[in-house]
Amino acid sequence: MTEDESNSEDVMERQTTGEDRVRMIARQLSEPRTANWIGSEAGWSHEPTKRVLERLVDDGILHRDEGGTHTTYYPDQRRLAIQEAMGLRDSEHTVEELMDTLAHMKAQIRDWEDEFDVESPNQLRGTLADQALDVTEEDRPREIAREWEHLQQRIKIIGFVIREWDFLAPTTEPADANS
């Protein structure tokens, strides 16, 4: 760990509560994690971490999975996608800029489809098993497959924002219940 990383962790611990850190980490999860893992990342003990996670489950922010050997927690991906869509709509981007971004992402995927003669990230990963590549040659297709999946998610969200531009517009007045 570098000195800058150590200093930023010290600042984070001094300026946030354990509950704040658990909430931040829980909302950034990309895969299900246990309360112990989340607590460790937050620098907080197990029991208070578990209480915070259970409140987040009760509030619909996290999901709990008790199907495995350990209970795990993960964020509601729909909620995150809607929040991201609202953030894009509220940003300084115009609908035209988002359409240009969407076109660029789709063009990038078409380029990968042509370059590797595949139609999906999984097919690209499958080519690694079929070819005799050294480790450094395998890194690029793996990274492209991850980026491809990321772009597919972004395309869905940006497409939603474009389609629902008016619906997602920030409101300044409460909705009229009689309308």
Collapsing DSSP to helix, strand or coil, 160 comes out as helix
In the prediction, which pLDDT does 135 show? 67
Q: Is 133 exposed, middle or buried (0-12, 13-18, 19+ CB in 10 A)?
A: middle
If one compares 94 and 175, the residue with the highest pLDDT of the two is: 94
Query: What residues does 64 pair with on adjacent strands?
Result: 73
CA-to-CA separations, 74 to 28, 49, 78, 91, 116, in angstroms, rounded: 9, 14, 12, 27, 34
- Model pLDDT for residues 129-147, shown as the tens digit of each residue: 777 666 677 788 889 999 9
Compare 112 and 170 and report the one with higher pLDDT: 112
Structural domain boundaries in the chain: 3-75, 79-163
- Written as one letter, the residue type at 115 is E
The rounded mean pLDDT for the chain is 87
59: which DSSP letter?
T
Domain 3-75 is in which class?
A: mainly alpha
pLDDT of residue 77: 84
What is the edge-to-edge ordering of all strands in the sheet holding 72-75? 33-34, 72-75, 62-65
Q: What DSSP line would sit under 86-146, residue for residue?
A: HHHHHSS--HHHHHHHHHHHHHHHHHHHHHHT-SSHHHHHHHHHHS---HHHHHHHHHHHH
Which of 77-81, 114-118, 161-165 comes out lowest in average pLDDT? 77-81
Q: What pLDDT band is residue 21 in, cutting at 50, 70 and 90?
A: very high
Q: Model-level pTM? A: 0.67
Look at residue 45 and tell me whether its pLDDT is greater than 90.
yes
For 108-125, write each residue's pLDDT tens digit: 999 999 999 999 999 998
How many Å apart are CA 175 and CA 79, to the nearest integer? 21
